[in-house]
Amino acid sequence: MPGKHLLLKIALAVLALFVLLNFGGVLAAQQYTLEQALAAPETPASTAPLSLSQALALAEQRSEALRAQDAATQAAQSQATAAGELPDPMLNLEVINIPANGPDQFSLAADFMTMRGVGVSQTFTRKDKRNAQANVFNKSAEFAQAGKFQALSKLRTATAQAYLDRFYLQEILALLQSQRAELELQIEAANALYRSGKAPQTDVFAARTELGLMDLKIQDTQALLDNAQAELQRWVGEQADAPLAGAVDLSQSRLGAVDLFETLHQHPEVLALDKAESMALAEAEVKQQEKSADWTLSVMYAGRGPEFSEMLSFGASRPLFVDQDNRQNQALAAANAMAAKAKAERIELHREHLAQTKRWQQTWQSNLKRVADFDRSLIPLTQQRTQAALSAYQGATGTLAEVLAARRMEIDMRMEKLRIQMDTARLWAQLEYLIPEEVQQ
């Protein structure tokens, strides 16, 4: 009996090994979900610093919007090629003179007049009309390309703004955290002076209150930084977690010193309406060409019975324009009206963007001057005030409240400078990437 149990255990073990080897892959495949199959493999975030140019390149590589516009351009170009060709010939099959009643009713071979025919017809669209039809799709391809420029401008502007927001918020957060560490030292000093009877307890409470307010500012700034990080990740992916390379020179912009009136004719949205006007004019040319009819030629070979001659027929046809004023002319007028609409919208949009870009340009230049004022006079003055208050407090001629007030003003001044720089950076990104360089190529 023990031998039988041993053999049974060995058999079960072999069976289990067989199932594992042959069906283990199936079980594993069943556990591998669709979400896992569709998920892109995670790329570990790089530890190398991420520059603005690298962030822009990553955003363009990941953009599906750009690929969509490329596909639209390719589709329009393919349609243009097809529109330039003659229509396909038509195969015609017919049976005529089929008996409708009598002993040969519905017979295809009994009556001598019944003929069975096969033929072909071809519409000969004039070359000018085919060229006009192809031109509509060529203009549609240009319109799709203008759409790509719009997507490219939006992508670069948003990526740069997210990058710069994160950079300056990190600077603000670092400033606040350094001041928090200093406040903790001031609290310790106030406690020591209070215990030795050299300072009132109100100094301790004032320092702790200041620390609590600083913590609130740190929390608010951290929340803004997390939002900027999420926005940057939306554009560049996992590489958004990499440290940033450093500051960007905000003092120069491609639209800083140009003739905006002429330059903004290349604005992607203005350019798109310009291409829409070209499309409408191309449609109008098609309607003009359609006022001239095309001929369709056909040939038919028909046979009856073996005792009768086979028949060959030729034909030609064309539409008769019996009411051009209410049909062809109205279609042409509608196409011209759409072209006029696109032109008016383009002019109005150009004016709107001209005014908006001038505001951005003026505010950007004004902010650069304000930042220079902070570095030249405002921040040095607050530093001197803080140093004077601290010296007075150490010499027992001033109070801790005066030191904290002076220090708070210095921090606020530095934070205000960084906030202005962040606003300036957003304006700089709007100006720098408003018109993609590819538009002018």
Q: Which of 340, 335, 354 shows the shortest CA–CA distance to 269? A: 354
Two tokens, residue 174: 């670092």
Instruction: Let me know if 398 is exposed, middle or buried by CB neighbors in 10 A (0-12, 13-18, 19+).
Output: middle
Residue 209 one-letter amino acid: T
Which pLDDT score, from 0 to 100, does residue 16 have? 46
Give 340-378 pLDDT, tens digit per residue: 999 999 999 999 999 999 999 999 999 999 999 999 989
Name 90's bridge partners.
121
Give 118-151 pLDDT, tens digit per residue: 999 999 999 999 999 999 999 999 999 999 999 9
Say if residues 268 and 274 touch (Cβ distance below 8 Å): no
Which pLDDT score, from 0 to 100, does residue 46 have? 52
The enclosing H or E element of 92 equals strand 90-96
| List of the chain residues with pLDDT < 50 | 1-2, 4, 6-43, 45
List the chain domain ranges.
56-440
Helical residues (DSSP H) of 264-399, grouped into ranges: 268-289, 328-373, 379-394
Which pLDDT score, from 0 to 100, does residue 199 have? 73
Could you give the count of Cα atoms lying within 13 Å of 275 in the half-sphere of its Cβ? Answer: 22
Give 61-113 pLDDT, tens digit per residue: 999 999 999 999 999 999 999 999 999 999 999 998 888 888 878 787 777 78
Residue 314 φ/ψ, nearest 5 degrees = -120, 145
CATH of 56-440, one of 1.20.1600.10, 3.40.50.80, 3.40.50.2300, 3.40.47.10: 1.20.1600.10
CA distance 408 to 426: 27
Two tokens, residue 120: 């072909």
Name 297's bridge partners.
122, 316
Flag whether the pTM goes above 0.75: yes
Two tokens, residue 82: 């097809």
CA distance 202 to 208: 10
Q: Which of 268, 270, 253, 276 shows the shortest CA–CA distance to 368? A: 253
| Cβ count within 10 A of residue 325 | 8
CA distance 235 to 184: 39
Residue with tokens 């330039």: 84
Q: Which of 422, 404, 405, 411 shows the shortest CA–CA distance to 378? A: 411
Instruction: Let me know if 77 is exposed, middle or buried by CB neighbors in 10 A (0-12, 13-18, 19+).
Output: middle
